[in-house]
Structure 1
Amino acid sequence: MAAQDAANGAFPDPREAVTAQEFTASLRRLRAWSGLTYRQLEKRSGVQGVPLPYSTIATALQRDTLPREEFVEVFVRACGVDPVPWLVARKRLAAGGTEAAGPAWPAEDPAGAAPVPRPAQLPPDAGDFSGRAAPVRELTRLLVDGEARTIVISAIAGMAGVGKTTLAVHVAHGVEDVFPDGRLHVDLRAYDAPLAPADVLARFLRALGVDGQKIPDTLDERAAMYRSLLAPRRVLVVLDNAADEAQVRPLLPGTPTCAVLLTSRRRLAGLEGVHHLDLEVFESGPSVELLGRIAGADRVAAEPEAALEIAALCGGLPLAVRICGARLRTRPHWRLTDLTRRLRDERSRLDELAVGDLAVRAGLSLSYAGLDADAKRLFRLLGLLDAPDFASWVADALLGVAPGRAERHLDELLDARLLDVRSADGPGVRYRFHDLVRVYARELAETQDDPSDRRAALARAFGGWLALAQQAHIGLFGGDYAVLHGSAPRWPAPAELCADPVAWYESERPSLLATVDQAARLGLDELCWDLACSLWSVFETVAHHDEWRVTAETALTVTRRAGNQRGEAFALTGLAHLAVARQRYAQAMEYLDSAIRIFESVREEHGRALCLTMAAYVHHMSGRHDQALPRYQEALTGLRRAEDHGAEVICLRCIAQIHLELARPDLALPYLDAARSLVGGADGERYHPQLLDQIGRFHLGLGELDEAERVFARLAGVTDEIRDPQGGAAARCGLGEVLLHRGEFEQARTLLHEALTLAREAGERLLGARVLIVLGRCHAGEHDHGRAVVLLREAADRCAEIRTPLWEARALDALGAVLLADGDVRAAESAWTRARTLLATAGSPEAADVAARLESLGTT
């Protein structure tokens, strides 16, 4: 009994009731405490010799008047409780004038009187029902809530095949005891000759005992009679597959003793006071569970990977999973892998998802048939996209209409549950197809639309993504520079979507990748390489190197296949750019050499100048300054002819960086000034964070700590604003170095650890090594020589791995100083010897300083 008490609530005390309503409520709590259903109570009362019909129990417990004494006695005994306290409490309340005509079990019907009909029209419950525990609890709670004073109308909405009817019927069977006067059911056939409300009412009235000849002629009169008959009863009405609000309203009861379960593919938002439940497809777990219930749990357990694949290929749609289970059950010789092999072919998948009178295509075709012509065309064209989701402008592009004109067709597809809203977060609402709906839409497009029309529609949509990618590049770089474009036409997608380029990219990333790939497969080579190349700036900003590589390789493959040399060369440039970002300099030079040769053969000076800039940078990072400077100068000439001022800024600050590294600040300054002049002041600096980094290092090199701190703080603000982890790491490294020079070691370490985290996020191994050098020097300043040695050795190893001799030498130089301070002269000599060699090879004046330190060891 204790376990039962815990499960069903505390035992009710009838003495606490001060009104008839409270006494009846205590009887309801007693039933809940007992854990017995109305049917079980009926049986237990019969065992005691006085049968108490379950319908009478349900009716008595839902009223607010005192039940009769004989009812209370038999009911409380059936619950397993002594009835005396309850009878005393009832007598006290009755003496106080609260008694009313409460129900007991009804007297025998007068001779010849016809029994009151109790319709039981529900279809059979699904014996293999599974996967909907939460919705079942939610709906059951609403229907059994005896305190509800309004009609409960639970509207279940969802796409075809998601299991709306199965859920509604299952819940309706589960609350049989709550509605002892019957359960009405009708399939309103929303998409297949919808039933007229007047016809449904005639059917319901006959089920409720009305003679066919006495049924009124008009809809209003039938609805009035229907509601009058339901008023004193507790009846559940299941309205399945409703078309719209107008079809449903006349069928709603008018009193709170009844409830309605309503299913529809539409949300029927016009109905007042409705509890809406949107039914989603299954996750993999419930899908596999349902498959096992139908096909056999042992069979499914024997091939778990195949079962998961079936669930995925069905997109979690319960109808599709049910069909797969039925096919496996009727083919015991099949393995699950036999079915997965059949389902993998998208072109025949819907053919496979049919068994008996169940078919996924049939349900979708009814939804499609209810659309207008333009919505049908949009549905088909959307199905052609490989993009997993899309914004509303894509619909405009596919149809070739003015901005916003296609939104009403999108709404129609949403209402028909042929389209879902994936998200309303980020820049604009995004839509998506269920996988099987997409298959159906593509199937229709390929059979009903002309191939040239399909290709043109897709080219318009791809052109919109291209226009937005170009806008994102401009937003990040402050201009359309350091990039080439092709001749593919743009579609005027809303530029405001790219107000935050990174947020736009994050929302569009899967669709952009899918579009690059689909454009390649369709042979749209100009569009493919242009889109891939326009995305480099975003890939670099968020350090998405895998996406960068895949799109550039795709562009390279399609341009080579098409003989598109200009596009091929710039795809190679993109791969080189990625290799540089990953500090794979030898690989970068291979790509650049090939790209430069092609650009020269097609006389593309702009592309060649961009490649020369990058090649010079590779020489620069490899310590070959004598090769880097001439290439930078040659690139500068080409960039100025192309009027690519943004790329010119990059070239100028790289030349300045070499002079700073060679301790020639006087030669660096003109290039920094020229770059700053092109940038145009503070507003332009946010698009050139690396220029700010160079200016900060210029002041740091001159010992101008306050000015360096101001510039690095500005850099930190800019890079945090644009969410650039690489620039953020450089800013914090610079600020940490300023604090190091001031001896503020603890604050410096905090900033440097932040810089390390950002450098890792950006995939910047060289920048990370530079931060480690400063951090090692910081620990050395605090006399923590052991930690300093570990950090500086790690920095030197990283620089050696990515072949940046200048920075490897600087790490070794700092390491030698720490080792010497720790008394390890031999190790210090070894580190400085290696550093001197590297610096001398790079032509750095720092070699002389290291040589002097080595010389001093002879007198140590």
Structure 2
Amino acid sequence: MAAQDAEDDAFPDPSEAWTAQDFTARLRRLRVWSGLTYRQVEKRSGLQGMPLPYSTIATALQRDTLPREEFVAVFVRACGVDPAPWLTARRRLAVAEAEAVAPAWPAEAPPAYGAPPRPAQLPPDAGDFSGREVPVRELTRLLVRGEARTIAISAIAGMAGVGKTTLAVHVGHAVEDAFPDGRLYVDLRGYDAPLDPADVLARFLRALGVDGQKIPDTVDERAAVYRSLLAARRLLVVLDNAADETQVRPLLPGTPSCAVLLTSRRRLAGLEGVYQLDLDVFDAEPAVELLARIAGADRVAAEPEAALEIAVLCGGLPLAVRICGARLRTRPHWRLTDLTRRLRDERSRLDELAVGDLAVRAGLSLSHAGLDADAQRLFRLLGLLDAPDFASWTADALLDLAPGRAERHLDQLLDARLLDVLSGEGSAVRYRFHDLVRVYARELAEGQDDEPDRRAALTRAFGGWLALAEQAHIRLFGGDYAVLHGSAPRRPPPLELCDDPLTWYESERLSLLATIGQAARLEMDELCWDLACSLWAVFETLAHHDEWRTTAETALTVTRRAGNRRGEAFVLTGLAHLDVARQRYAHAEEILGSAIRIFEEVDEEHGRALCLTMTAYIDHMHGRYDRALPRYEEALAGLRRAGDHGAVIICLRCISQIHLELARPDLARPYLDAARELLGGAAGDRSHPQLLYQLGQFHLARRELEEAEQVFTRLAEIADEIRDPQGGAAALCGLGEILLHRGEFARARALLDESLTAARGAGERLLGARILTVLGRCHAGEGDHERAAAVLDEAAEICAEIRTPLWQGRALDALGTVLRAGGDIDAARDAWTRARALFAAAGSPEAADVTARLDDLPGRT
């Protein structure tokens, strides 16, 4: 009895346990050694309510089988001991227990019959596998690394049809030598009818040689036997098409001798220590290579352009390319162009992308079926958009939800790999569809949603883009000025998106262009012209003239088709505005005449006044001051009645410019003061940088160089803040002219060169010519008459091309001065004669100054 007590008091070494009963007995003796009662151990361990077949630790330890790992860990820890040696001993015994369940393979048994089974369950490798060299290399390296202390798990995620299974099977065959004990494979059917992990484990255990009648009942017990059997083996487990982490976890081996390769359409972020590989679609080159491997290299080489078009129409999706290759291979009489013709029709494209048991639509339908009803509806409605990408507010608008409420539905689409994240963070995140996914989504929408519901959803989304474009105009222009609007409904999304309107535009540019085109096709004429016109301020600021013209011409077509005369007139106004920005004055005059007649017809005074302002500006550029000033005054009255303060400011500025050019700064000053007062003084300078430029010119005309320098410096700062290249170039030109007046020619030339580069980059030909004129004077000041003459000649030529005679005359006047200084009297006389004619036609007092210079020339006849 004393000997027994001594044995109970001694610390029980778990490493000496050789049976489950002995291990359990040592656990009981550990409790005695700790000096705790069973109830105390239970209380310290917190095991009350633990899902055990018995209610107390004491009775739990009466089981004949090994206690569960989690039970051992908390029990030993409650006794005040490190559980690690006990868990090691338990796992060793679990292996022995599993081997007792599995058949015995005597060493002397013939390999063909008595050796342990070596499962080889992988499907055959694709003989035409191509295009995945980098992921194959990386996955192979990770799976066969010998130094790993934990099990190597590589997960391949991606949309349906991207080639996850093909890649996994190929890699599984490539690493065969690294796993001499076999390769297990199962299609978990995650997006169809997901397999129960218990059933998969039963399948694996039978493949590993366990008698079906001896397979345990529960998933935990099956997993324990499975891991025990794999504990001493080098074996690869390929789990294809997994639904989620819950399905996968019981199927993971427990020791680093094995490795796992799994695929899923979603990222299984809940699995620890997993190497995640996101598989994307093919670029054009590997897609064409795959097509050639399947359909035949000669056929593809004979029609390379058609092969490339097939790759593009398939969106680089390997399954789609594979289907196209298979169809071509079984139809040797087809040319590749026969297939491209079939694929171009978006409505039947998915019908064409099917052959045998392969179909793109089938894979997408499984992903779609796993969504809840709201996410399915969002998927369909998003497919209606022509926009290539979109922000989350678009989903809110389509579903008619409050801001942010659609994000959980977007998350479902992301998890199902029916949607991709393009870029950005927070509210700037953008999403996009793969082209074929979009086709499928639109197909579902047109089949399941009524046309009025589809149109209403699109109207809400388009209204969001319209509201944001309107805000961008307001922020760039300092108010909702110099623009007309239509009756299309707005749906304001989070307006902080437009805090930086140019950044917002850059992110939405392609979507905005697509939306204008889609609105035109849907005959939404009011929305189409309003959205196009609301973007003019952005187009002008960034010198995006091509987008400006394309969207305006689209809007013009749809307004004319709809008989929308007011919309048509304002779109014509915008096209004229673009021509003016590009110095195409003759065409602009013609368009403005049409727009004014329509505005008069529909009694739209505001639009007519805006057209008159531009007509006066063209007269101004042509030096027709006698026509420009009364037109400006007439426009000014109309704009004041319309309450368009921003356009009033423009008109006042232009009138002051005429007076400055006619050397009447005293008459210019009241208009400048009125404009700045309306704008709000210096606080409003950021909204109208052109007015600052005009003020700088006023000070230059009065030789108030310090005041001019302050103004142009402020203009340069504002232009940099709002990313206005024209304003920046004008500011640098003004600062360069100040330095020229001060005789600092080298510094002036450096600024003028920088200014000229900026103006040319912005496509500003008139500003460029004006800068060249100042630069020519700078070269002359440095004594480089030859260079000065070349620069001034270029300026005069540009002004002649864009029909701005006043500035052409100024360039020629400066050229005459340079030629006279260089001793070329005849050339100087010619330049001054031409300049005088231009000034005289414009009614400019500069004609008299040039006449005086001509009279002073020697040898005058």
In which range does the TM-score fall when normalised by the shorter chain? 0.7 to 0.9
C-alpha deviation, 1:682, in angstroms: 2.3
> What SS does structure 1 have at the residue aligned with 2:257?
coil
> What SS does structure 2 have at the residue aligned with 1:185?
strand
Q: Is the 8 A contact 2:676 2:682 kept in 1?
A: no
Amino acid at match of 2:361: R
| Residue of structure 2 equivalent to 1:109 | 107
Amino acid at match of 1:109: A
Structure 1 segment 399-418 matched on structure 2, within 5 A? 399-418=399-418
C-alpha deviation, 1:192, in angstroms: 1.0
| Residue of structure 2 equivalent to 1:464 | 464
Q: Is the 8 A contact 1:426 1:507 kept in 2?
A: no
| Residue of structure 1 equivalent to 2:618 | 618
Structure 1 segment 280-291 matched on structure 2, within 5 A? 280-291=280-291
C-alpha deviation, 1:426, in angstroms: 9.5
Amino acid at match of 2:436: L
Amino acid at match of 1:347: R
> What SS does structure 1 have at the residue aligned with 2:146?
coil
> What SS does structure 1 have at the residue aligned with 2:276?
strand
Deviations 1:434-472 (A, max 9, x none): 000000000010111000000010010000000000000
Deviations 1:775-812 (A, max 9, x none): 11111111111111111111000000000000000100
C-alpha deviation, 1:108, in angstroms: 8.7
CA distance in 1 between partners of 2:241 and 2:173 (Å): 18
| Residue of structure 2 equivalent to 1:96 | none
> What SS does structure 2 have at the residue aligned with 1:634?
helix
TM-score, normalised relative to structure 2: 0.87
| Residue of structure 2 equivalent to 1:508 | 508
Deviations 1:22-64 (A, max 9, x none): xxxxxxxxxxxxxxxxxxxxxxxxxxxxxxxxxxxxxxxxxxx
Structure 1 segment 162-241 matched on structure 2, within 5 A? 162-241=162-241
Amino acid at match of 1:155: A
Deviations 1:796-850 (A, max 9, x none): 0000000000000010011111111111111111000000000110111111111
* Percent of residue pairs identical: 81
CA distance in 2 between partners of 1:532 and 1:317 (Å): 34
| Residue of structure 1 equivalent to 2:13 | none
Amino acid at match of 2:302: A
CA distance in 2 between partners of 1:164 and 1:232 (Å): 29
Q: Is the 8 A contact 2:391 2:427 kept in 1?
A: no
CA distance in 1 between partners of 2:400 and 2:372 (Å): 17
| Residue of structure 2 equivalent to 1:744 | 744
> What SS does structure 2 have at the residue aligned with 1:240?
strand
| Residue of structure 1 equivalent to 2:79 | none
Amino acid at match of 2:209: G
Q: Is the 8 A contact 1:186 1:238 kept in 2?
A: yes
TM-align CA RMSD: 1.1
TM-score, normalised relative to structure 1: 0.87
> What SS does structure 2 have at the residue aligned with 1:155?
strand
> What SS does structure 2 have at the residue aligned with 1:486?
coil
Amino acid at match of 2:738: V
| Residue of structure 2 equivalent to 1:101 | none
| Residue of structure 2 equivalent to 1:571 | 571
Structure 1 segment 262-661 matched on structure 2, within 5 A? 262-424=262-424, 428-661=428-661
CA distance in 1 between partners of 2:231 and 2:425 (Å): 46
Amino acid at match of 2:714: R
C-alpha deviation, 1:425, in angstroms: 5.8
1:799 equivalent to 2:802? Answer no
| Residue of structure 1 equivalent to 2:663 | 663
Amino acid at match of 1:374: D
CA distance in 2 between partners of 1:846 and 1:157 (Å): 74
Amino acid at match of 2:538: V
> What SS does structure 1 have at the residue aligned with 2:422?
strand
> What SS does structure 2 have at the residue aligned with 1:483?
coil
Q: Is the 8 A contact 1:303 1:336 kept in 2?
A: yes
| Residue of structure 1 equivalent to 2:244 | 244
Q: Is the 8 A contact 2:186 2:200 kept in 1?
A: yes
C-alpha deviation, 1:590, in angstroms: 1.0
Deviations 1:735-757 (A, max 9, x none): 11011111111111111111112
Structure 1 segment 822-841 matched on structure 2, within 5 A? 822-841=822-841
Deviations 1:408-451 (A, max 9, x none): 00000000000001111696000000000000000010111000
| Residue of structure 2 equivalent to 1:785 | 785
CA distance in 2 between partners of 1:123 and 1:280 (Å): 23
CA distance in 2 between partners of 1:844 and 1:709 (Å): 27
Q: Is the 8 A contact 1:426 1:503 kept in 2?
A: no
CA distance in 1 between partners of 2:693 and 2:383 (Å): 48
CA distance in 2 between partners of 1:193 and 1:643 (Å): 66
Q: Is the 8 A contact 1:816 1:827 kept in 2?
A: yes
Question: 5+ residue gaps in structure 2?
Answer: 1-104
> What SS does structure 1 have at the residue aligned with 2:210?
coil
CA distance in 1 between partners of 2:859 and 2:320 (Å): 86
Q: Is the 8 A contact 1:539 1:548 kept in 2?
A: yes
Deviations 1:123-176 (A, max 9, x none): 001110000011011101101211111111111000000000000111111011
Amino acid at match of 1:235: L
> What SS does structure 2 have at the residue aligned with 1:241?
strand
1:775 equivalent to 2:775? Answer yes
Amino acid at match of 2:108: P
CA distance in 2 between partners of 1:598 and 1:445 (Å): 40
C-alpha deviation, 1:114, in angstroms: 2.3
Amino acid at match of 2:600: E
| Residue of structure 2 equivalent to 1:689 | 689
Q: Is the 8 A contact 2:106 2:114 kept in 1?
A: no
Deviations 1:480-512 (A, max 9, x none): 110000111101211100111100000000000
CA distance in 2 between partners of 1:211 and 1:368 (Å): 40
Deviations 1:722-746 (A, max 9, x none): 0001111100110110111111111
C-alpha deviation, 1:859, in angstroms: 5.8
Q: 1:401 to 1:426 in 2, by over 3 A?
A: closer
| Residue of structure 2 equivalent to 1:85 | none
CA distance in 2 between partners of 1:292 and 1:425 (Å): 40
| Residue of structure 2 equivalent to 1:854 | 854
Amino acid at match of 1:242: A
Q: Is the 8 A contact 1:382 1:441 kept in 2?
A: yes
Q: Is the 8 A contact 2:158 2:280 kept in 1?
A: yes
CA distance in 2 between partners of 1:594 and 1:149 (Å): 80
Pick which of 356-365 and 143-152 moved more. Answer: 143-152
| Residue of structure 2 equivalent to 1:28 | none
C-alpha deviation, 1:109, in angstroms: 2.0
Q: Is the 8 A contact 1:379 1:441 kept in 2?
A: yes
Q: Is the 8 A contact 1:395 1:406 kept in 2?
A: yes
CA distance in 2 between partners of 1:512 and 1:787 (Å): 46
Amino acid at match of 1:228: S
CA distance in 1 between partners of 2:201 and 2:233 (Å): 17
C-alpha deviation, 1:572, in angstroms: 0.4
| Residue of structure 2 equivalent to 1:37 | none
> What SS does structure 2 have at the residue aligned with 1:714?
helix
CA distance in 2 between partners of 1:426 and 1:815 (Å): 57
| Residue of structure 1 equivalent to 2:92 | none
CA distance in 2 between partners of 1:816 and 1:492 (Å): 58
C-alpha deviation, 1:347, in angstroms: 0.5
Deviations 1:236-270 (A, max 9, x none): 10000000110001001111111110100011111
CA distance in 2 between partners of 1:243 and 1:606 (Å): 61
Amino acid at match of 1:238: V
CA distance in 2 between partners of 1:209 and 1:749 (Å): 88
Q: Is the 8 A contact 1:636 1:648 kept in 2?
A: yes
Pick which of 823-832 and 755-764 moved more. Answer: 755-764
CA distance in 1 between partners of 2:378 and 2:708 (Å): 57
> What SS does structure 2 have at the residue aligned with 1:190?
coil
| Residue of structure 2 equivalent to 1:56 | none
| Residue of structure 2 equivalent to 1:20 | none
CA distance in 2 between partners of 1:396 and 1:184 (Å): 45
Q: Is the 8 A contact 2:392 2:427 kept in 1?
A: no
